[in-house]
Structure 1
Amino acid sequence: MCFEKKQNSEIFIKTVSIKDAAELLEIYRYYVENTAITFEVEVPSLQEFSARIEKTLKKYPYLKAVSAKTGEILGYSYAGEFKNRAAYDWAVETSIYVRKDLRKQGIGRLLLENLEKILKKQNILNVYACIGCTEKEDEYLTNASVTFHEKMNYRTVGRFENCGYKFDRWYSMILMEKILGEHKTPQKKILLFSELTLDK
């Protein structure tokens, strides 16, 4: 499935391809090396990162925000398995990363809105975000992501105290949830991203 949608005069939202891996990895590198937004402590290799993209696209959307003027990737978002059990098929975990110099410009909102629309077409119902949080904000982590997800109508459903150790400090994680549809019996089966027909 190839998704492309022009959001405004400046930004396209498109499906990521493997050839985007290096550019996406550079965006992610900043968050690994300089923040506790991700609890990953070593930057993955390009080979590993490419494999992650390939695995995701077999089932879920992996989107990029692209500058209409320069073609540069401004940020990206994707969904992945919440748990590796068939009964969890209607639930996913999402991630969003925006280029460090372009945060707080609405790019994350565009990425998440489009991601959620596609997930809903896949018959996904429960969307989760696992977010690093802290009682005392520091140079590595603020609670901006929590505030962002609250504005996107996510609610906190769980908290894991001091579960992540990075930069010689302990950080907590909260689980935030958004329900995209109605839970029914029987429930519609999940459609693979590749099976969808999407409006441009």
Structure 2
Amino acid sequence: MTLRTATPADAAAIKAIMKPVIEQTTASFSSEQRSVDDWASLIEARLASGRAFYVAEVDGVVAGYASYEQFRPGNNGYRHTMEHSVYLSDAAQGRGFGRILLITIEEHAREAGHKSMIGVIDADNTASIAFHEALGYKEVGRIPQSGYKFDRWLDALFMQKNL
């Protein structure tokens, strides 16, 4: 596995990773796919603002990504609190890539002077909760029935780690 900074050229691969996540799971509460151009713009915007956006490659193929942005963007009171996203292709699951990606963006955020990292998780996603707990995240809040997908209400679980 190779870890590197994402470029807009990775947008199609990231969209492909997210397609089954959005269509088949509640790992993302969204039911709308971003376009390749939207992904490319997001990568450019994150990097231009000093945030991290990394991809993990296996045999030259993007197998996952991780990034972060300010929690509640636009409110400078939260400027030292970040929210992350970490997603892997199905083939990359269970191989330690998610752990490497998350630790890498945590280090990036720490070096940039940020105080904490937040993950917002479907409260029924036990695998993601266990993943975060193993990396030192603690449950700090829950918003019941705050998301809606697949004709059911979802609870958003907030997990935080001080950097």
The bucket for the TM-score relative to the shorter chain is: over 0.9
Aligned to 1:65: 56
Tell me, yes or no, if structure 1 residue 45 matches structure 2 residue 44. Answer: no
- Cα RMSD of the aligned pairs, angstroms, is 1.0
Aligned to 1:82: 71
Higher strand share: 2
Q: Percent identity?
A: 30
Residues 17-73 of structure 1: per-residue CA shift (max 9 Å, x gap)? 001100111001110011011011021111222211111112200001112xx2111
Aligned to 1:110: 100
TM-score where L is the length of structure 1:
0.78
Match of 1:100 among 65, 72, 90: 90
Q: CA deviation at 1:152?
A: 0.4
Secondary structure of 2:28's aligned partner: coil
Cα distance in 1, alignment partners of residues 77 and 153 from structure 2: 33
Structure 1, gaps ≥5 residues long = 1-10, 135-141, 181-200
Number of residue-to-residue matches in the alignment: 161
Q: CA deviation at 1:85?
A: 1.4
Secondary structure of 1:13's aligned partner: strand
AA partner of residue 99 (structure 2): R
Tell me, yes or no, if structure 1 residue 165 matches structure 2 residue 152. Answer: no
Cα distance in 1, alignment partners of residues 28 and 90 from structure 2: 14
Bigger shift: 41-50 or 114-123? 41-50
Q: CA deviation at 1:94?
A: 0.3
2:7–2:40 Cα contact (<8 Å) kept: no
Cα distance in 1, alignment partners of residues 75 and 147 from structure 2: 24
AA partner of residue 4 (structure 2): K
AA partner of residue 157 (structure 1): V
AA partner of residue 23 (structure 2): E
AA partner of residue 109 (structure 1): R
Tell me, yes or no, if structure 1 residue 155 matches structure 2 residue 138. Answer: yes
Select the structure of larger CA radius of gyration.
1
TM-score where L is the length of structure 2:
0.95
AA partner of residue 26 (structure 1): A
Cα distance in 2, alignment partners of residues 118 and 13 from structure 1: 13
Cα distance in 1, alignment partners of residues 111 and 22 from structure 2: 32
AA partner of residue 162 (structure 1): Q
Residues 91-127 of structure 1: per-residue CA shift (max 9 Å, x gap)? 1000100111221111100101111111111011111
Structure 2, gaps ≥5 residues long = none
Runs of 4 or more consecutive aligned structure 1 residues displaced over 3 Å after TM superposition = none
Secondary structure of 1:146's aligned partner: helix
